[in-house]
Amino acid sequence: MTGLKIDDVAKQSGLTKRTIRYYEQIGLLASPPRSEGGIRLYSQAHVEMLNKIVSAKEVMGFSLTELQEFIQLSETLEEQRSDYRQFKGTDQQREKLEKVTETIEEQLKLIAQKKKSIVRVEQDLTALYERAKNALHTFKENK
């Protein structure tokens, strides 16, 4: 029984056990090997993957479906990689690759936008903060 059990992973990732299994179920997280008796035995790589998922979800607001797509892209690239070395690329694969790069390009643009928007929200919140601080100040003066 070597490897992390689901509860360890839960603690390290901050997700619940249910969520981890759910992510595996919908194909977001690779299925870890099992013990004889069927208990999931995770590696550190799984934890890192989960961290990336959480990050992408929280930060980018990606839905799990969108995340799946990116993971598939990544896997497609892994697959292709070996094929290319063998000079086996087909036209179909090339088309797929072109779509992939387009999709990523779009997402990178979106990220650029979000960076700007996040600053806007930050400014709004900072303004709110200043007002609150000021109010508190006024308070102390009249005490």
Partner DNA sequence: CTTAACGTTGACGTAAAGGTTAAGTTGTAC
Partner DNA sequence: GTACAACTTAACCTTTACGTCAACGTTAAG
List contacts with DNA (CB under 7 A): 1, 5-8, 16-19, 21-22, 35-40, 57, 63-65
CB 73 within 8 A of CB 81: no
Choose the one of DNA, its own copies, none that binds residue 117, judging by a C-beta under 5 to 8 angstroms depending on kind: its own copies
Judged by CB under 8 A, the residue of 27, 61, 63, 72 near its own copies is 61
Q: How far is the CB of 27 from its own copies (least distance, A)?
A: 18
State the Rg of the chain over Cα: 22
**Complex with DNA: residue 3 or 80, whichever CB lies closer:** 3
Choose the one of DNA, its own copies, none that binds residue 89, judging by a C-beta under 5 to 8 angstroms depending on kind: its own copies
Helix %, strand %, coil % of the chain (to 5): 75, 5, 20
Q: How far is the CB of 30 from its own copies (least distance, A)?
A: 17
Q: 96: which residues sit within 8 A by CB, 6+ positions away?
A: 76
Judged by CB under 8 A, the residue of 9, 29, 50, 100 near its own copies is 100
Nearest to 7 by CA among 29, 49, 36, 39: 39
CB 97 within 8 A of CB 78: no
